[in-house]
Amino acid sequence: MKFINKYKEHIIINPLMRGGIVPEEVQAQLCQEGWLEVGYSLCHDCLEGRSSLVSKPPVKSFLGNVAEFFGGDAAEHTFGCRGAQFAVMKTVGDYCKEEDLEPVIVVDPNSHYSTNIAAEMAGLRVVEPPHTGYPEYKVTAEAFEDKIEEVGRPALVAVTHADPYFGNIAPVEEIGKICEERDIPYMVNAAYTAGVAPVNLKKMKAQFLTVSAHKSMSSLAPLGYVVTTYEWSKKIFATSKSKAEWTGRIFGKKLPNLFGCSIGGVPVISSMLSFDYVKERVKHWDEELSKINSFVDRLEEIGDGDIMLLGERPKRHHLLHFETPVFWDISQKHKRRGFFLAEHMIKRKIVGLHKGLSKHIKLSVYGLTQEEIDRVLEAFREAVKLREKLN
């Protein structure tokens, strides 16, 4: 089977990917150190049968560092942030069964689909507070409070820190306070923030933080982390209780909520190698935000009223969602229809706009140099000019 990477050396503006770009030094180490020789290259010195307990390379202490960096007491690596969310939902679902609670959870209306799927997998019913609608689509603490009151006692409140639709930052600390007052377990899905922006579980008063290493921690996929408090770690990281009937085998080091052992492999190695870089860049989040807001202004200027940011303003996150009637107009006359825009960008070695969409676009310039940002803006400027040409 032969295929190439068509987008090698392109500027990536897909907002899913910008926080996951693997530093060149890390890529080089993965290649030169032989870490790609075998999937299990993390496991040569595994003594206890669980990757998170490996000390050479230092996975165990690294997970302690991850927990500390995000303000938690304990962390485990998972199969992506979806695996982390599943572990939380499964813990909550099992708790509902034990305590005979109604399996209803309150989830923000801008949640990533993986939150809803994890709930579905764990047999939890999702109810949603409303957002504020067009054009900001904001989630408010008041709406959460109302919905919680309406439900009575949800088994969990789950909030997406920066949402995948608009890149709005949810009022996670206020919601945390509401949950704390009512003693409701609280999960913050920080897939789009943890690793790019400062994120602290304790400050949010959360019990669970779910993180995507390949989205926001410059790591290969699939990899996530679930970070929790000391108290909840005993539940979510409980070891296996099963005993095989005839052999009597038990699996005492294995964590059922994480498939026994979450393996890790090259994604974990990449995350360990990227971690210092990630910690450093988070310190410069404010500088990134001012670059991002200036990009928004410049792109709207190019659109001259026909490119408009959706979601909150000023931006407090790098995921940008624009309404783009100018590109919709062009798509109506262009022979490539809605595909023209993504293809126009790819011709300029800029990849990441969803192919086929022109009415709305989502993108990110997080971590790009000013020169690269200028190239992106220039490409959009040229795209806008197509309107005149086609008229």
Interactions with a second copy, residue window 18-57 (CB under 8 A): 20-22, 27, 30-31, 33-41, 43-45, 47, 49, 56-57
In single-letter form, the type of residue at position 377 comes to L
The whole-angstrom separation of Cα 170 and Cα 154 is: 19
Give 170's DSSP letter: P
Q: Which residue in the block uniquely carries the two structure tokens 């206020």?
A: 174
The whole-angstrom separation of Cα 99 and Cα 387 is: 62
Q: How far is CA 58 from CA 42, 63, 162, 326, in A?
A: 10, 9, 31, 52
Q: Which residue in the block uniquely carries the two structure tokens 């210092």?
A: 276
Task: Report in angstroms how near the CB of residue 310 gets to a second copy at its nearest.
Answer: 15
Task: CB nearer to a second copy: give 229 or 262.
Answer: 262
Task: CB nearer to a second copy: give 37 or 371.
Answer: 37
In single-letter form, the type of residue at position 40 comes to Y
Where does 314-354 show beta strands of DSSP type E? 320-323, 350-351
Is the sign of the CA dihedral 354, 355, 360, 366 positive or negative? positive
Subset of residues 353 to 382 that bind a second copy, contact rule: CB under 8 A = 354-356
Q: Which of 111, 191, 101, 120 is nearest to 144 (CA)?
A: 111
Task: Report in angstroms how near the CB of residue 301 gets to a second copy at its nearest.
Answer: 28
Q: With CB under 8 A as the contact rule, which of the stretches 201-209, 291-299, 317-325, 346-354 interacts with a second copy? A: 346-354
Subset of residues 208 to 237 that bind a second copy, contact rule: CB under 8 A = 213-215, 219-223
Task: CB nearer to a second copy: give 133 or 305.
Answer: 133
3-state SS class at 160: strand
Selected from 103, 154, 167, 265, the binder of a second copy by CB under 8 A is 265
Task: CB nearer to a second copy: give 307 or 366.
Answer: 366
Would you count residue 86 as binding a second copy (CB under 8 A)?
yes
The whole-angstrom separation of Cα 42 and Cα 34 is: 11
Selected from 69, 70, 79, 166, the binder of a second copy by CB under 8 A is 79
Under 8 Å CB-to-CB from 41, ≥6 apart: which residues?
A: 34, 35, 265, 266, 269
Task: Report in angstroms how near the CB of residue 2 gets to a second copy at its nearest.
Answer: 9
Selected from 132, 240, 369, 370, the binder of a second copy by CB under 8 A is 240
Would you count residue 190 as binding a second copy (CB under 8 A)?
no
Would you count residue 352 as binding a second copy (CB under 8 A)?
yes
Subset of residues 96 to 135 that bind a second copy, contact rule: CB under 8 A = 107, 109, 111, 113-114, 116-121, 126-130
Task: CB nearer to a second copy: give 142 or 301.
Answer: 142
Task: Report in angstroms how near the CB of residue 337 gets to a second copy at its nearest.
Answer: 14
Task: CB nearer to a second copy: give 9 or 304.
Answer: 9
Would you count residue 238 as binding a second copy (CB under 8 A)?
no
Q: With CB under 8 A as the contact rule, which of the stretches 5-13, 201-209, 298-306, 361-369 interacts with a second copy? A: 5-13
DSSP class per residue in 68-131 = HHTT-SEEEEESHHHHHHHHHHHHHHHHHHHHT---EEEE-TT--HHHHHHHHHTTPEEE----
Would you count residue 8 as binding a second copy (CB under 8 A)?
yes
Selected from 11, 196, 266, 299, the binder of a second copy by CB under 8 A is 266
Q: Using CB under 8 A as the criterion, what x/- string covers residues 279-318 for binding a second copy?
A: ----------------------------------------
Would you count residue 251 as binding a second copy (CB under 8 A)?
yes
Q: With CB under 8 A as the contact rule, which of the stretches 180-188, 240-248, 297-305, 370-378 interacts with a second copy? A: 240-248
Which residues does residue 211 pair with via DSSP β-bridges, in sequence order? 225
Subset of residues 59 to 78 that bind a second copy, contact rule: CB under 8 A = 62, 65
Q: What is the per-residue burial (b if ≥16 Cβ within 10 Å, else e) of 266-288?
A: bbbbbbbbbbebbeebbeebeeb
Q: What is the total count of residues that contact a second copy (CB under 8 A)?
A: 97
Work out the end-to-end distance of the chain between its first and last CA atoms, rounded to an integer number of angstroms: 45
Query: Burial of 42 by CB count in 10 Å (0-12 exposed, 13-18 middle, 19+ buried)?
Result: buried
